Structure formats: structure tokens, C-alpha cells
Amino acid sequence: MKARPNTAISQTAAYRATITDPMRDFDIICIGEPLIEFNQINGTEWHQGFGGDVSNVAIAAARLGARSAIATRLGDDGFGQELRNLWTREGVDASYVATDASAPTGLYFVRHELNGHRFEYRRAGSAASRMTADTLPVEAILSAQFTHVSGITLAISASARDAGLEAMRIAGAAGRQVSFDPNLRLALWPLEEARYEITQALGLADIALPGLDDARQITGLDAPEDIVRAFHEMGPEVVALTLGEEGALLGHAGTITHIPGVPVPAVDATGAGDCFDGAFLTRLSKGDAPEAACRYAVAASALSVQGYGAVGPLPTVADMSAG
């Protein structure tokens, strides 16, 4: 494990006063923004579901047997309550989810077009964007094997960015594993700013989980092998670069290994990368080597693209056993 700065631990005492729940042991805690999803089925028909990358990761992990938790803020509205109900059903610990009476829960829409799917967001000023570093659930972070943060967490506001980076520092300084998915959304911030902040985050991460299109924009490189090497140079010891239907490229311990994709009749790729992240981290938390975890995650993400929406098609342990 790489050496970590010790700055975060000195700040945890100030945070402990905000924690009222008894400490729980988690495999994975995810920090960021959950969203309500409206997914276009055909023409003017829309299906309401759930999304938000870190929420998807937490649910994917829980369905595959991990003890997962989410830390965020929700609006004091019906959509926020629906998300709480979802996490209860899915077995995701939501003890560290705050309610903000003065800000709404965020929404997004998925339109399916000939050249792929297009996202539209109604998330400006969302409750999650009001997350702050001084309200992080430090005890939960310290008790989790993995703390997972995404580039969207960093992009939605300056205070959420501070919270995400501080969570990574706290986990790293305590010797816990930190995972980061860049999840680049240029509608949220300009490319140069995104590159700078994502590079800072990668310097705090043990595991990087980029998608190929995002990684090409972040690094300016084209060849997947070169991208994996570039991500290693920014800090992470493990890099799992997802390649869509081509599978993933895993960089670890000085080697780069291609994990082939699983051919499936794909319907909707929304959330497939989040499914990969949750499955990969779950298997690492169970003691799998990175290559075995990556093969499992590729298979899980293949199952997830065979239905509509980010959450509904996420596979369970039984689904994985059935193949």
C-alpha cells in the first residue's frame, strides 16, 4: 500500500461529534449524489427509476453480497423518501444520509436515440450538492474496507468536492482502500478544471475505475494500454479500464491484462459502469485477486445492460450463479 499523508486523521476529532449512530463495519461506503431517474421507453413513455452513480454502486454491491452504505444529502420531498425506501429494500445502510429541507432531490432523464443514449439533468442546487467536509461520517469511513468516490461527487459543487476529497484523505490516512471512478460529465464542469481535480483525486486513490471514453478525454491519449499506464502514474496501484462490450483492461502489479467482454443482447447501458464498480469492489472485499474480481465485474456488467434503467437490471448473487 502506498504511503499516505497524515493530514486527515488530525481533523477527525472535529467530525466525531456529528456522528450519533454506533459504528458499523462496512465493506464499501459510497459518497456522492443519488438521483431519481426517468428513462424513456418509447416515444413519450417514461419509466421512473433510480440512479446516481454512487447509489448505483452501493446497490450493485449489496445485491452481490457486500455490506454497503451511502453518505449523502436528500431533499425533504417525496423523491428523497423514495430513495430511502429503495435503500431499505436493497439492504444499503442509509444511516449517514441527511435530509435538507431547503434543497430538492436531484433528477435526470435518459433519452434513447439512434446514436446511443443522452442524459438530461435537473440537479442544480440539489441537496447532495450541499454536502460538506465537516459533516462526513468519519466513523463509517474508518470502519469501511473501501471508500468510493466519483468525479461527479467532485463536480456538483465546491463543497461536495471538498467532502469527497476529504473522505478519500481520511480513508487513506487510516490505511483503508480508496476507489475512484472519474465519471466525467462535461455538463458539470469544463474539461481543464475536471482534469485538474480528477488528477488530485487519483493521487489519493488506490483503485481507479475509469471508462474508456472518459479516460481518453482526461489523458488526451487514445490507446487503452497507454491510458492504463497514465492512470498508474497518477497514483492508483490498480486500474480497471472498462471497454464496453470489449470487456476491461486491468493494470496491476506491473502487468496489463485484457478481460474479454461477454456477448449479450444489450438494451440499455445506463449504469453498466457503476455495476462494474460495485461488483469489482465487492469481490475485492471478499478477498479475490484483482484479475478474478475484474472477470466477475465484466460478467456482472454484461447482465446489467439487458434491461432498462440503472438499478432494475443490476444482477444479484443468484443471477451471477445462473450465468
Which CATH number is 250's domain given? 3.40.1190.20
Given the C-alpha cell 423514495, which residue does it identify? 82
Q: Per the domain annotation, does 1 fall within a domain?
A: no
Q: Give the separation between CA 240 and CA 127, rounded to whole angstroms.
A: 31
Q: Per the domain annotation, does 5 fall within a domain?
A: no
Q: Give the separation between CA 100 and CA 79, rounded to whole angstroms.
A: 13
Q: Give the separation between CA 310 and CA 215, rounded to whole angstroms.
A: 21
Q: Check residue 47 and give its pLDDT.
A: 87
Q: Give the separation between CA 2 and CA 236, rounded to whole angstroms.
A: 9
From the candidates 27, 100, 206, 274, which is the catalytic residue?
Answer: 274
C-alpha cell at 156: 456538483
At residue 292, what are phi and psi to the nearest 5 degrees?
-65, -40
Q: Per the domain annotation, does 321 fall within a domain?
A: no
Query: Which own/partner pairs from 183-188 qualify as long-range (CB within 8 Å, at least 24 positions apart)?
Result: 183/53, 183/150, 183/151, 183/152, 183/211, 183/214, 183/273, 184/151, 184/214, 184/217, 184/218, 185/151, 185/152, 185/155, 186/217, 187/119, 187/121, 188/152, 188/155, 188/156
Is 27 among the catalytic positions?
A: no
Given the C-alpha cell 446511443, which residue does it identify? 116
Q: Per the domain annotation, does 200 fall within a domain?
A: yes
Q: In what order do the strands lie in the sheet with 107-113?
A: 45-51, 35-42, 107-113, 116-122
Helix (H, G, I), strand (E, B) or coil at 204: coil
Q: Per the domain annotation, does 102 fall within a domain?
A: yes
Q: Check residue 6 and give its pLDDT.
A: 40
Q: Per the domain annotation, does 2 fall within a domain?
A: no
Q: Per the domain annotation, does 226 fall within a domain?
A: yes
Q: Check residue 19 and give its pLDDT.
A: 35
Given the C-alpha cell 470489449, which residue does it identify? 246
Domain assignment of residue 131, given as a range: 23-314
Q: Per the domain annotation, does 131 fall within a domain?
A: yes
Q: How far, in Å, are 159, 241, 272 from residue 298 at the CA level?
A: 34, 11, 9
- In sequence order, what E strands does the chain have? 26-31, 35-42, 45-51, 68-75, 93-100, 107-113, 116-122, 144-150, 177-181, 207-208, 238-242, 248-252, 255-259
Q: Check residue 4 and give its pLDDT.
A: 52
Q: Check residue 20 and give its pLDDT.
A: 37
Helices 224-234 + 191-202 axis angle, to 10: 60
Residues of the chain with pLDDT under 50: 1, 3, 5-22
Given the C-alpha cell 482534469, which residue does it identify? 195
Q: Check residue 111 and give its pLDDT.
A: 85
Q: Check residue 13 and give its pLDDT.
A: 32
Residues in the chain: 323
Tally of domains within the chain = 1
Q: Which residues of 232-258 are buried (b: 16+ CB within 10 A; e: fewer)?
A: bebbbbbbbbbbbeebbbbbbeeebee
C-alpha cell at 152: 461527479
Strands 248-252 and 238-242: antiparallel
Q: Give the separation between CA 188 and CA 128, rounded to whole angstroms.
A: 14
pLDDT in tens, 243-273: 999 999 999 999 999 999 999 999 888 899 9
For residue 252, give every residue at least 6 positions away whose Cβ sits within 8 Å of its Cβ, in sequence order, or none.
237, 238, 239, 290, 291
Q: How many CA atoms lie within 13 A of 90 on its CB side?
A: 29
For residue 305, give every residue at least 6 positions away whose Cβ sits within 8 Å of its Cβ, in sequence order, or none.
264, 266, 267, 268, 269, 272, 313
